[in-house]
């Protein structure tokens, strides 16, 4: 029975939109999270805040990148890998050069 209450709170009927309550519904979505819109006793769509949508999409993209990296690692030969030291040496970059670089928040896009 405890699992029913959140489901009830997170669903809204399409008729609430037709009664002019969209503003109130959108405010609730931004404050509490997602809402499932019910039409003809079936889920029609999911409403969520832009912040929550962005977080979900970022997590989805991260998962895709992780899956791709795992796929690539599974099909690579470690004996072909090049070490960081070799790359730096080949490019003529020293540890002092790296120490002089300012690093932002750590995010690489």
Structural domain of 15: 4-48
- What's the total number of domains in the chain? 2
Mean residue pLDDT of the chain comes to: 85
Q: Give the Cα separation of 56 and 34 in Å (integer).
A: 12
Structural domain includes residue 104 = no
Statement to judge: residues 72 and 89 lie in one domain: yes
CATH number at residue 43: 3.40.1620
Which has more confidence, 1 or 41?
A: 41
**49 within 8 A of 29, measured Cβ to Cβ:** yes
pLDDT at 21 over 60: yes
Same domain, 9 and 43: yes
In a domain, 8, yes or no: yes
The string of pLDDT tens digits covering residues 31-83 is 888 888 888 988 888 999 888 899 999 999 999 999 999 999 999 888 888 99
Q: Let me know: does 34 contact 47? Beta carbons within 8 Å.
A: yes
Does residue 105 carry a pLDDT above 90? no
């Amino acid at each position: 029975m405890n699992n029913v209450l959140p489901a009830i709170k997170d669903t809204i009927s399409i008729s609430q939109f037709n009664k002019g309550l969209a503003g109130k519904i959108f405010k609730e979505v931004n404050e509490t999270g997602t809402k499932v819109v019910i039409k003809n006793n079936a889920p029609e769509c999911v409403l969520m805040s832009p912040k929550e949508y962005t977080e979900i999409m970022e997590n989805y993209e991260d998962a895709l990148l992780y899956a791709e990296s795992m796929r690539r690692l599974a099909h690579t030969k470690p004996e072909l890998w090049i070490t960081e030291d070799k790359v730096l040496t080949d490019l003529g970059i020293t540890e002092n050069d790296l120490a002089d670089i300012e690093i932002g928040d750590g995010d690489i896009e």
